[in-house]
Chains A and B, each alone.
Chain A
Amino acid sequence: MPRVFSLSAFSIVLSAVFCCGTDATAADEYDYDLVHSSVSFKARHLDISWIHGRFNDVAGKFVLDRDDPSKSTFALTIKTDSVDTANEARDKHLRQPDYFDTKQFPTIEFKSTSTKAIAGGYEVTGDFTMHGKTNKITMTLMGGKEHVFKDVKRVAFSTELSVKRSDYGFDKNAIGPIGDKALIMIDCEGVRK
């Protein structure tokens, strides 16, 4: 009797280990590669031209489950203090409370809540938090092609999203000559842990 018990216990443990093992291989965890990625934006100036800028300090993590894409998750954290429009005076101005208010809201964050596979990528819905306000957004991540370079597995995605600054609590009076809408372009490469 004790032998039968120990055998069945062993088989349960073994199957549990194999199950977990299968899951671990299906879902790959990637870190945002700051060197080969960029988060940039552009906004209208006086409604006649575009101002371009980027955020230099970004971190992120994504879990890709090829077998069950709905289990895939994406998270991105952008440090607002790292805003860079190639003009130090303007960057300083953008860090002020009328714009990003970087001392109060040091990060812009995205956390996925659901993922759906589409042709050529994923449709990811999640919470986008900027300037202390969180709104649900859906973005189309195109790509997902993998590449192994020097024994490191990499995967890359690109997306563009349009946000209205007034939806995120930016002061309407401060919007002025810079348009309300901003286009954010994300090109990110992930390296597997």
Chain B
Amino acid sequence: MPDPLLYTKAMGVAAFISMALVLAIFAWRRRLKMAELNSVCVVGIGFGLVAGYAVLALNLSWPPANALDRLLLIIVPATLVIELIAGFQRVPRAVAWLIRISLALVAPWILLHNSIYLNDSGDWTPWQVGLVIVVSAALLILVWGLFSVLSQRSGGVSLPIAVCIAVQCAGVAVMLAGYIKGGAAAIPLVATLLGTSIVVQGVARFFSGKIDVSLPQKVVVPGVVGVGLVGLFGLLFIGRFFGEISTLTAVTILAAPLLCWLSEARQLRNRKPWIIAAFRLIVVAIPLVVVLLAAKREFDREMSPLLGAAGRQDDQRATECNASHFLILGQLLAERRESSGASKSEGLAPFR
């Protein structure tokens, strides 16, 4: 059952840890170049994620048993390491992108590992497997590449926020499609990305004179973008191939951050930064809201038979029944059940 209180706690802890760590390193080093800032942010995100997932208690197992385990225990840590390496000044840009492309190519294969898609008994032929892996990897590389170009070209805190909105939307869509744990995995990711981006922006804007940090005001840390987009891709991939979200939903959410490119239109490019930021966030939010509304409608339609409303299924009200009420009711009943341990053991008597 979704637990909003737990999610809020996980979000708070993940954001606090990542923000505190980045701020502490800022205060300690006092001299930071862009490459070092990237490393600091990547470390902050890493610690924030560990803390956030510890609070969520996602029951991850090692060796990884399912796709979510592989995303959180292999792919996200690998992305953090790659972004750490790519951030070093000595590493040529081409090499950094070669490593990123390699990760994008193996990520779908890692996520599908040992599933029916790659087993001999599975539904897919080797051709289909190859096609899905190549198309998925190409999509990730395309989104990652275009977004990185935009980050370097015009920057602005609205870019990582746009990625965060897309990641959160992916989490909610996966959850509404019935995979609660998969959707919850988005929460610490959003919190750490948002936390580090806000801290970096704050330092660049308000403390650049006080501490010796030479950052442009529109700085976008490549590590934040990398981890955000790989996390977004992973969640959507799992939701599509292991959960019940549709290909259209997944592709729409993955591509939504690219709508920030519209702010590069001649009429908008030279506007005030807050206008550009607001435009970007609105333009990214529009398709995401449409996708979420469709997901919510589907959720209500799918859940209504589970509400025990069999007698009034023809009733219009049954189809319009708010499924979130069902979740809250389930939560309350589960809590009540936990508090009355005695009645639980009596109820399970037939098993003993």
- Mark A residues whose CB is within 8 Å of B: 44, 46-48, 87-90, 92-93, 96-98, 101-106, 131-133, 162, 169, 171-174, 176-177, 179, 181, 183
Contact status A96-B302, CB under 8 Å: no
Nearest CB in chain A: distance from B117 CB, A: 7
Contact status A47-B67, CB under 8 Å: no
Nearest CB in chain B: distance from A47 CB, A: 4
B33 contacts chain A at the CB level, 8 A cutoff:
no
Pick from B89-97, B145-153, B173-181, B188-196 the stretch touching chain A. Answer: B173-181
B246 contacts chain A at the CB level, 8 A cutoff:
no
**Chain B 107-141 near chain A by CB (<8 Å), digits 1 or 0:** 00000001111010100000000000000000000
Distance, CA A106 to CA B333, complexed state (A): 31
Contact status B117-A103, CB under 8 Å: yes
B348 contacts chain A at the CB level, 8 A cutoff:
yes
Residues of A within 8 A of B65 (CB): 104, 131-133, 169
Residues of A within 8 A of B3 (CB): 173
Residues of A within 8 A of B181 (CB): 97-98, 171, 173-174
Query: Residue of B at shortest CB range from A94?
Result: B178
Contact status A92-B302, CB under 8 Å: yes
Contact status A104-B333, CB under 8 Å: no
Contact status B244-A104, CB under 8 Å: no
Contact status A104-B67, CB under 8 Å: yes
* Known contacts A97-B67, A103-B241, A169-B65; A177 and B334 CB within 8 A of each other: yes
Contact status B305-A87, CB under 8 Å: yes
- Residue B59 contacts which of A47, A92, A104, A172 (CB distance < 8 angstroms)? A172
Residues of A within 8 A of B347 (CB): 44, 47-48, 179
B330 contacts chain A at the CB level, 8 A cutoff:
yes
**Chain B 76-114 near chain A by CB (<8 Å), digits 1 or 0:** 000000000000000000000000000000000000001
- Mark B residues whose CB is within 8 Å of A: 1, 3, 57-59, 61, 65-68, 114-117, 119, 121, 177-182, 238, 241-244, 302-303, 305-306, 330, 333-334, 337, 343-344, 347-348, 350-351
- Residue B303 contacts which of A89, A105, A106, A131 (CB distance < 8 angstroms)? A89
Residues of B within 8 A of A105 (CB): 66
Contact status B243-A176, CB under 8 Å: no
- Residue A173 contacts which of B1, B114, B179, B348 (CB distance < 8 angstroms)? B1
Nearest CB in chain A: distance from B326 CB, A: 10
26 A-B pairs with CB atoms under 8 Å apart are: A47-B337, A47-B347, A47-B348, A87-B305, A87-B306, A89-B302, A89-B306, A93-B178, A96-B179, A97-B68, A97-B181, A97-B242, A98-B179, A103-B115, A103-B117, A104-B115, A104-B242, A105-B66, A162-B351, A171-B181, A173-B1, A173-B181, A176-B330, A179-B347, A179-B348, A181-B348
Contact status A177-B1, CB under 8 Å: yes
Contact status B178-A169, CB under 8 Å: no
Nearest CB in chain A: distance from B48 CB, A: 21
- Residue B121 contacts which of A106, A131, A133, A181 (CB distance < 8 angstroms)? A106
Distance, CA A145 to CA B73, complexed state (A): 51
Contact status B302-A97, CB under 8 Å: no
Contact status A97-B179, CB under 8 Å: yes
Residues of A within 8 A of B178 (CB): 92-93, 96, 98
- Residue B180 contacts which of A88, A92, A173, A181 (CB distance < 8 angstroms)? A173
Contact status B59-A171, CB under 8 Å: yes
- Residue B244 contacts which of A44, A92, A169 (CB distance < 8 angstroms)? A92
Distance, CA A108 to CA B343, complexed state (A): 31
Distance, CA A13 to CA B179, complexed state (A): 62
Contact status A44-B348, CB under 8 Å: yes
- Residue A104 contacts which of B66, B303, B305, B334 (CB distance < 8 angstroms)? B66
- Residue A177 contacts which of B58, B238, B330, B344 (CB distance < 8 angstroms)? B330
Residues of B within 8 A of A89 (CB): 302-303, 305-306
Contact status A173-B306, CB under 8 Å: no
Contact status B61-A169, CB under 8 Å: yes
Contact status B334-A96, CB under 8 Å: no
Distance, CA A47 to CA B330, complexed state (A): 12
Q: Which 8 A-B pairs have the closest CB atoms?
A: A176-B1, A47-B347, A132-B65, A162-B351, A96-B178, A89-B302, A89-B305, A104-B66
Residues of B within 8 A of A133 (CB): 65
Residues of A within 8 A of B334 (CB): 176-177
Residues of A within 8 A of B243 (CB): 96-97
Residues of A within 8 A of B114 (CB): 104
Residues of A within 8 A of B121 (CB): 106
Query: Residue of B at shortest CB range from A180?
Result: B348
Other than A97-B179, A169-B65, give 17 A-B pairs with Cβ distance below 8 A.
A46-B330, A47-B337, A96-B178, A97-B66, A98-B181, A103-B242, A106-B119, A131-B65, A132-B65, A171-B58, A171-B59, A173-B57, A176-B334, A177-B1, A177-B330, A183-B350, A183-B351
Distance, CA A132 to CA B69, complexed state (A): 13
Distance, CA A183 to CA B347, complexed state (A): 13
Nearest CB in chain A: distance from B10 CB, A: 12
